[in-house]
Every structure is written in structure tokens, then in C-alpha cells.
Amino acid sequence: MPESTDDRSLRDSGTLLRAACPAWCATGHGVHLGEEDWVHLSEPVTLTDGVSAQLCMTIDPSATIEDGPYVVIGTSEYSLLEANALGASLMALAATGAGSGHSPAI
């Protein structure tokens, strides 16, 4: 059976996206048409019950326009600089608690 124009377009789009895919991308491209297929997502990192974090960016393969990457935590989006600052703040908070002289909570 000959390949339809839509099938060929979908295959070509997926090929372009995989070629421009960041090394951390875990998205199966070529499943959606258009802008939905431009989204690149990393594997999620579970932070707590029901909350995960992952890298996210979009790349328009026809114009090679990139947006991101961002770190998405729950429904909030952080630039890489903001995510690093958040991580540093959490580490400082944990270090402050560890230096308080009290036994750590289990």
C-alpha cells in the first residue's frame, strides 16, 4: 500500500525532531502532528507524592526556533537559573536544619 502524504509528513517531521532532539529528551516524536510534536520532555523525577519535575523545551523544526529548556515542577515552570536557585535554597535550608543540633526527623 502506498504511503499517504499525511504519513510521509508525519514521518519526515518525526525524523527532523529526532535530529534536533536534546540528549535528555524521552519523548516519542512522530506521534502527533504540528506544535504538539515540537515538545521535548525529560524523564520525570519524583519529588514527593503527586509532584514531579522534568525538563521541557520546544523546538520548531522548520525554523529551528527554541524555547527553553525549562524545569517544570508540578504546574510551575522555572528557568534553569531559577531552578538552580531553588535547589540551592533547599540545600541551604536542609544544611541549616542539620546544623541546629537536633536529631534529624526520619
What is the reported pLDDT for 60? 83
Let me know if residue 103 belongs to a domain.
no
Let me know if residue 23 belongs to a domain.
yes
Let me know if residue 78 belongs to a domain.
yes
Let me know if residue 101 belongs to a domain.
no
Let me know if residue 88 belongs to a domain.
yes
pLDDT in tens, the chain (106 residues): 554 454 444 445 455 555 678 999 998 888 877 777 889 999 999 999 999 999 999 988 777 788 999 999 999 999 999 999 999 999 999 999 888 766 666 6
Let me know if residue 34 belongs to a domain.
yes
Task: Show Cβ contacts of residue 9 under 8 Å, excluding neighbours closer than 6 positions.
Answer: 33
Q: What is the pTM of this model?
A: 0.71
Q: Specify the number of domains making up the chain.
A: 1
Let me know if residue 35 belongs to a domain.
yes
What is the reported pLDDT for 10? 44
Let me know if residue 102 belongs to a domain.
no
Q: How far apart are CA 102 and CA 100, in angstroms?
A: 6
